Structure 1
């Protein structure tokens, strides 16, 4: 590998002159600069940024562990986080946890081995017993995003319970009583909180929870499709469905289409999570939309503060959702 000494010899200058050209620490006359830059190109010299960063105690990198490819929402979140980190002069390393704690641990260990300056994690079920202690033991700044855990670190996530309650309440106000819910991965706070909102809406109306209408969609397109196919093939079938994330909405739509059922004619549908294209096809999906930009930017801001030396108490922030009233619920919004 070429060194600064090699560049200096090729250009016929001192090593300090090469350093000044590379780092802009002193004015160098134009002809000398051109000789140095030509020499750099000819011998393929690259600065060892990693070594310099480690010597300074910073790598200017941040790790993100997230289930990046199973849900459109997470894809948007990754884009937001990467853009903000880039604006701050940091490079993001992305690892897909696949919502599995063993995979998540491998991702986190790899990030820690690279001595990233901080880590953002959308924790898998069980992360509080496995992944999180591995991070906190190193003192690496940490922010949890999307899912909450009972651990002492900064956390930011969407408002879940009240949003899911509002979606279910909307269906109740339209006269529905047999409302199926497609809930997410067991043991993840967002799944627990959203289901609690559905449950609270029914109990507030004096309605009992029908276990036959509680579908475990596992935050998966295929699982949700299978569950909705089964419940809509039985009698009496639900008159409405509330889905608790984008992937399960897609699976539910596939199931209803496969059965030849119309929305909202045969069954009303409302969704937690919104799609970029929700307003572009029929039926237009009634949904609670997460504020992805605020979620991502808040997580990055908190992490940068910790990297910069902030030592205050752990913060927990809930970002409100926005109710988009369209027509898959069976009514025409004003």
Structure 2
């Protein structure tokens, strides 16, 4: 493998001149630049990213931790992060934690050892506090959607409470009064906030939440299917259900079909996240939009700002949800 010394020897210049041509850090005459570039091409020379990182103390590489990149919501956010990294000339190292705290710790250790410039953390683990990041306090971080309030890391926050209210108010506006909710695991911030928004909207409408119609899922297809099956097994069923993410809503659609019912004729349904799949389900799913590409780009921009200003005060950057109406939610037939 060719080295910078080989390039310098072939071009008959110094190694510092080769460096200036590569990094455009000083004017080099067109003739010498041509000779260096021809030498680089002939020798198939590739500059060492590791050597450069040791010299300038950065790698232009960011790390990202997500619960699962196979989940469509996380996948769409990761796509936004990767696009922004590409635009700014950064590389991305992606790690899946699979909801495992030990795996998350191993990923944090690995990313720090790889000398990434900073990390984006998007892991909805319950009951984690600042101690989970005790060995990584010097690493610039941005938390997306969740994060310990004690940690000096910027937080991009989905307004789950507002989104839960928005979904429920949409069903109320359609005339529904008997409304259920499929929520995520108790103790996870996204799950708790969306459920709280649902309860608040019901209370503001003067309605009582029926406990049997509030069932916990796991933010996955099977959890949504099982939760809806439990709702449908009750002596009375609601006329509409708010599922706290689109994957659970898709699973709930399957349970409704298995029961010989249809959406929205027998039950209206609305999800959360507005993943791409929502527009391809039958019927197409009404959902609460989280701007995933914007979230990804904002996470990168916020992290670079944190890298350049490591001692700046912690910022909370809110994202506002919006309602996307499709065929799965319909006016209640009188």
TM-score normalised over the length of structure 2: 0.88
**1 CA distance for matches of 2:171 and 2:268?**
8
CA displacement 1:208-259 (0-9 Å, x = unmatched): 3332212111111112212212321332122211100122112112222222
Please, which runs of 5 or more residues in structure 2 have no aligned partner?
none
Q: Deviations over 1:47-96 (max 9, x none)?
A: 22212212211111111111243431211111111111221221111111
Counterpart for residue 180 of structure 2 = 180
Distance 1:12 1:189, change over 3 A: same
Question: In structure 1, what is the equivalent of residue 80 of structure 2?
Answer: 80
- Distance in structure 1 (CA, Å) of the matches to 2:73 and 2:255: 21
The correspondence of residues 122-161 of structure 1 with structure 2, limited to 5 A, is: 122-123=122-123, 124-136=125-137, 139-152=138-151, 153-161=153-161
Instruction: Flag structure 1 segments of 5+ consecutive residues without an equivalent.
Output: none
Equivalenced residue count is 327
Separation in structure 2 between the aligned mates of residue 298 and residue 279 of structure 1, nearest angstrom: 25
Aligned to 2:114: 114
Separation of aligned partners in 1, 2:240 and 2:22: 64
**Are residues 28 and 291 of structure 1, via their aligned partners in 2, closer, same or farther at CA, if it must alter by over 3 Å?**
same
Distance 1:254 1:91 in 2: 39
Shift of 1:21: 4.7
Three-state SS of the structure 1 residue aligned to 2:330 is: coil
8 A Cα contact 1:157 1:295, kept in partner: no
Aligned 8 A contact 1:65 1:122 in 2: yes
CA distance in 2, matches of 1:56, 1:29: 28
Q: Structure 1 runs of 4+ off > 6 angstroms?
A: none
The equivalences for 1:159-238 within 5 A come to 159-238=159-238
Contact preservation (8 Å) 2:66, 2:121: yes
Aligned to 1:27: 29
- Normalising by structure 1, what TM-score? 0.88
TM-aligned CA distance change 1:86 to 1:54, over 3 Å: same
Q: 1:115 to 1:229 in 2, by over 3 A?
A: same
Once residues 323 and 256 of structure 2 are traced to their aligned partners in structure 1, the CA distance between those partners, rounded to angstroms, is: 23
**Distance in 1 (alpha carbons) for counterparts of 2:37 and 2:140:** 42
Alignment correspondent of 1:69: 69
